[in-house]
Structure 1
Amino acid sequence: MRRGVRGTWCGALLLAAVLVGGATGCGSGSPPGPGSPGPAGTSSTPGTSGTSDTPGTPGATTEPGAPPSDSRPGRVLVEVVVTGGFAGVRNQLVVRQDGGWTVLSGTKPPRTGRQTPAETAELRAALEDPAYALVPARPTGRPVADGFQYRVTYRHRLVVADDGDRPPALRRVFAALPGGGPPTSP
């Protein structure tokens, strides 16, 4: 019985040491410097949103509502993937910051084009509209039989919608896309 009490005390002391060590931050005791990873991989650089305009581009940040820092042809503004429909399509539309766009549809050759600066500005305004930020990330209504599903990626935020569930802010984005909407043709 004496041994059980000693083991309990040792366990309690070990637990207290872990809790105290965790509360003090274990390590140098100083906060991470600017730009260094903070808790859970967050950046401690003040004034950055931590989002990137181009997937896989570390450190590329843009404040909400601010114009893009550049318009290099490879920088993605928005990506829309359309799946489903009666014919079972899978189409991808990528619009770049400079207004250039590409549509991939099955085994067909890619279609490309360029929006005017005014059209690109309208698309950017629709994507940056505060109402678009409130569009649910997943459909909330009933799916439409043989309908399309739309996956819209903008600044690493994915919105999934279907034909039966397209809020006005999402319809505004769709109307500003090249061709007047997401690519649904097989």
Structure 2
Amino acid sequence: MVRGVRKTWCGSLLLIGALAGGASGCGPGITPAPGGPPSSVSGPAVPSVTTGPGTPAADPQPGEVLVEVAVSGGFAGVDNRLVVHYDGTWTSRSGAEPPRTGHQTPAEAAELRAALEDPAYAQVPERPTGRPIADGFQYSVTYRGRVVVAGDGERPPALQRVFAALPDGGPPTSP
């Protein structure tokens, strides 16, 4: 009977642990979810992974988004987007036009990742610092959950490097 109580107790803990995103510690081979709380259970080590919106796992999946760039504003009021995935595939949406798709070469994809991972890019201000240009465009770059917004003429060298590595230089500015 005690054995049955232990199974029920461990089963309850396992369910609660699963709902809370952790581990119960009720048996061998149970490891916490990546990024979850540590467990006292011994077993294979799970690499620590920082999770958050846009943050990839250790090995990103082909469909995972690397970077999303949006351009808005201008005289015509554009709202266009470019999404680039870790595998180099990309989709550009411009107004009511059908989406355009493509694929970066491995070298182009590596250059974009290098530009985004450059420590200088991490220092780019998240919000524009200058005066807005009337009817100018505003660019939003989302990488690993961090959004950098820049206006026309406000691209520091590290941000310019990112734009230079984007397919077609980023989303179109035409409606």
Fold similarity call, TM over 0.5: yes
2:57 aligned residue:
61
Identical counterparts, % of pairs: 66
Distance 2:60 2:51 in 1: 17
Q: Which residue in the other structure is 2:167 paired with?
A: 178
**What letter corresponds to residue 84 of structure 2 in structure 1?**
V
Are the equivalent residues in 2 in contact too, given 1:85–1:146 (CA < 8 A)?
A: yes
Residue 131 of structure 1 aligns to a residue whose secondary structure is helix
Q: Using the TM superposition, give the Cα deviation of residue 181 of structure 1 relative to its aligned residue in structure 2, in angstroms.
A: 3.3
2:135 aligns with one of 146, 149, 171: 146
How far is the alpha carbon of 1:183 from its aligned partner? 2.0
Match of 2:147 in 1: 158
**Residue 113 (structure 2) aligns with:** 124
Tell me the equivalent position of 2:98: 109
TM-score, normalised via structure 2 length: 0.71
Decide whether the 8 Å contact of 2:65 with 2:83 is kept in 1: yes
Tell me, in whole angstroms, the C-alpha distance in 2 between the residues paired with 1:160 and 1:70.
25
Higher Cα radius of gyration: 1
Q: How many residues align?
A: 139
Q: CA RMSD in A?
A: 2.3
For residue 129 of structure 2, give the secondary structure of its aligned residue in structure 1: coil
TM-score scaled by length of structure 1: 0.67
CA contact (8 A) 1:82 1:92 kept: yes
Unpaired runs of at least 5, structure 2: 1-21, 24-30, 39-46
Shift in Å, 1:35: 4.5
Q: How does 1:75-86 map to 2 (within 5 A)?
A: 75-86=64-75
